[in-house]
Amino acid sequence: MPSVLSRTEVPVSIDADLCVTGCRLCVDMCPLDSLAIDPETSKAYMYVDECWYCGPCAARCPVGAVSVNMPLLLR
Amino acid sequence: MNSEIRRLTTTERRQEHCDVLVIGGGTAGSMAALTAAQNGADVLLVDKAHVRHSGALAMGMDGVNNAVIPGKATPEEYVREITIANDGIVDQRTLMQTARRGFGMIQRLESYGVKFERDEHDEYAVRQVHRRGSYVLPMPEGRDVKKVLYRALRLAKVRSTNRVMVVRLLKDGNRAAGVVGFDSRSGNLVTISAKAVILATGAAGRLGLPASGYLYGTYENPTNSGDGHSLAYHAGAELTGLECFQINPLIKDYNGPACAYVAGPFGAYTVNSEGNRFVDCDYWSGQMMAEVAEEVASGRGPVYLRLSHLPSDTISTIEGILHTTERPTRGTFHANRGHDYRTRDVEMHISEIGFCSGHSSSGVWVNEKAATTVPGLYAAGDLACVPHNYMIGAFVYGELAALSAIEHGRSSSIVDPDESQVEAAIDAIYPPLSNPDGLPQPQVEYKLRRFVNDYVAPPKSATKMEIALEHFERTKTEIARLGARSPHELMRCAEVSVIRDCAEMATRASLFRTESRWGLYHQRSDFPDRDNARWFCHSILRKDSAGAMEMSTRPVAPYVVPVEGFEFPTTAAGDGEPDAA
C-alpha cells in the first residue's frame, strides 16, 4: 500500500535539560502509553500523538520538566 | 503466522491464574479487587494502562453525584428520582443497592482517607442539582481519590498487571473461566484462568468523534474504548439500553463539563446568547440534553455557563476546584485562548456519543448482585447497566461484584484455557503485526467514528442507521487490512475492532426501539413520540447462535418504589428476570 509520513505537533513537551535520566514516572503513568524514553538521549519524550491531556505526566514529574500544551486541533 | 507472532504466542506466552480476576483498575475495578482481597480471595487486577492513574478518575473527582445521606434523603426518594430521570426504564432493585449501600461506601472511603465536604455543623454538605432531592456532595480534596485507592490496594497486597489489553473471555462450558489478551509493550500473549471474572472496563468512550476531530479528545478516558462491552457480547452476555446514549454538555472544544454542579452553588447558571436561562434543572438527563441541543441549534445559541457576574474571589474559589481536581488542564485550555471567567462566560456544546451507565443507562445487563447473564461473569461501574450510577454506584457495584464472585468461586474451579478458544483469540489479535504496511489505525478509526457521528448520533432515523450498518460491514474489511508496527499499535488496532462492535450495537439497539425516549439520548426523528404501550420495556442485545446481533425485549420488573406518572402498561407481561442460562 503506498503511504507517506506526515508531521504532527504533539501535545506534550518535555524539557530534556530538566528530565532526570533513569526516571520513568511519566512514561509509566500515562494512561495512553504515549511517552517513551529516547534510547539515544535517555530522556522522556512523546512518541505518538495520543493524549487525553489528563495530566499525570506533568503532575508526577519530580522536576517540572513536563508541559501539557493540549492538542493543536482543540487548543 | 510469521515467526515473531509465533514467538509472542508460544515461548513468550504468559499464563496466570487466580480466584477472582478483575479487568480494569478504575473506580469499580479497584474497589472490586480490594474487597475480594480483604475477603481472602487470590485476586489479579489487570489494567490496560497503569492502575495508579487509570479509568475515569485518572486525576481525581471533584464531587459525588449520588450520595444518599441519612437525614438528607431516603433510599426510596433516590430510587424515585432516578426512575424519573431514566424515563421509567429501570430495574429498581439495582438502583436500591446504590441507594442503600452508598452511605456505607462513603464511610468506607473516608476510612481510607477520601475527604467529603462537611458543613459548619459537621454534616455532609449535600447540594440539590437533581429535580427533587439533594445528592451532590463535593470532594474538596478529590484529586487524591485514586491515590488513596491505590495505596489501599498496595496495603491489601493486591497483585496487578499493567499494560495488558484483554480481547476475549474464555469459557468453560457456559461459565466464564478466564481471559485472553496481550501485553501492549512486549506483545506477549497473556492467558489467565480464574474461578470468576469481573468486568470493570468503564464506558465505551471512543464511539463518537469529538467535534475537534481529535481521536482522543473524548469526554471519557479514551483508553475506555468499550472493551468490556465487546468482551461481554462475544462471551454471550446480554447488554441492555444501548440506544440510551451518553451525551454530555461540555465546554466547547474541551472535554470537561462547564460545570454547573460545581459552579452552580456559587451562583453560576446556564444561559443562551441572549442571557436568558433555558433549562429548568441542571441535572444531566436526556431531557436536559435535548433542551441544550435545541438551544444551541436555534437563533439563541450558543449557550454559556454564566459566571462573569460573580465576584473575583468567588471565581478564584471555583477555579481552585475546577482547574485542579478532575481535569487540571482546564485552566491551561482557557489560558491558551486568553479567556478568564471574570470577563468571559464559558461557551458550552454537546459531546460525542458513548455508552456509559454512570451517566445514562447503556451497558451490560446486571442484577442487584452485579451478576451478568453469563455464570461466573460479573460487571460493575460505567460498563454495567445500573442507570445514573456515577462514582458511588461504581464503588458499590465493585464491592457487590467481588462478594458475588467469591461466592461463585466456592463452587467453581480454575481450569486450563481451552486452546481452541485461545487460537481464535490469537487470530483476532495478531494479524496487523504481520502486515506492517497495512492500513494505519488513525485513518480507519477516524472514518469509523465519523460515520457514527453522521449516521448514529441523534436525531436518529431508520434510513440513516441502515446506511451506518452498511458502512460498519465495510469497516470489517478495513479492519482485516490494518497494519501495526509495534505492540502499542497492535493495541490501537484491537481497539478499532472493539469500537466497531460498539458502533454496530449502538445502531442495532437504536433501530430496534421504534419510539423516542430519554430526550436527546434516543431521539428518533421518524418516531418522535414516546410509546409506552409497546416500549415500556428494556431492550436486550446478545449474540445469536449464528454469531449475529439479536434484539429482544424484557419487561420492566415491578417497582419496589411506586412512582407517580409511571404506571405499568397493562400489556406488559413477565417478571423482569433474564431467562435461565
Closest CB to B223: pick one of A31, A53, A59: A31
CA distance A5 to chain B (A): 11
What is the H or E stretch that residue B541 is in?
A: strand B537-543
Last residue of some domain: B470, B499, B521? B521
For range B25-50, the mean pLDDT: 98
Q: How do B189-199 and B537-543 pair as beta strands?
A: unpaired
- Domain range holding B278? 249-350
Residue B81 falls inside a structural domain: no
> In 10 A of CB B338, how many CB atoms?
8
Last residue of some domain: B328, B350, B372? B350
Residue B501 falls inside a structural domain: yes
Amino acid letter at B374? V
Residue B253 falls inside a structural domain: yes
Q: Are residues B431 and B517 in the same domain?
A: yes
What single-letter DSSP state applies at residue B14?
A: E
Give the number of domains in chain B. 2
pLDDT grade for B574, boundaries at 50, 70 and 90? low
**In chain B, which residue's Cα lies nearest the Cα of A53?**
B329
| C-alpha B142, offset from chain centre | 20
Each residue's pLDDT tens digit, A3-23: 999 999 999 999 999 999 999
**In chain B, which residue's Cα lies nearest the Cα of A27?**
B50
Q: Cell numbers at residue B503, please?
A: 458502533
Residue B337 falls inside a structural domain: yes
Q: Are residues B428 and B515 in the same domain?
A: yes
Contact B440 A3 (CB under 8 A): yes
Last residue of some domain: B350, B383, B407? B350
Contact B329 A68 (CB under 8 A): yes
For range B20-34, the mean pLDDT: 98
Each residue's pLDDT tens digit, B441-474: 999 999 999 999 999 999 999 999 999 999 999 9
pLDDT grade for B143, boundaries at 50, 70 and 90? confident
Contact A33 B488 (CB under 8 A): yes
- In this predicted structure, the answer to whether residue B206 has a pLDDT above a threshold of 70 is yes
Q: Measured between CB atoms, does B568 come within 8 Å of chain A?
A: no
Q: Which positions in chain A touch B440 (Cβ < 8 Å)?
A: 3
Are B393 and B98 spatial neighbours (Cβ–Cβ below 8 Å)? Answer: yes
Contact A31 B221 (CB under 8 A): yes
Residue B334 falls inside a structural domain: yes
- The rounded distance, in Å, linking the Cα atoms of B47 and A66 is 24
Residue B490 falls inside a structural domain: yes
Q: Are residues B423 and B346 in the same domain?
A: no
Contact A75 B184 (CB under 8 A): no
- The rounded distance, in Å, linking the Cα atoms of A15 and B465 is 48
Closest CB to B58: pick one of A54, A68, A74: A54
Domains of chain A with CATH codes: 16-74 (3.30.70.20)
CA distance A17 to chain B (A): 23
Residues of chain B numbered 61-100 and touching chain A (CB < 8 Å): none
pLDDT grade for B570, boundaries at 50, 70 and 90? low
Q: Which positions in chain B touch A55 (Cβ < 8 Å)?
A: 59, 328-329
Contact B329 A73 (CB under 8 A): no
What single-letter DSSP state applies at residue B341?
A: T
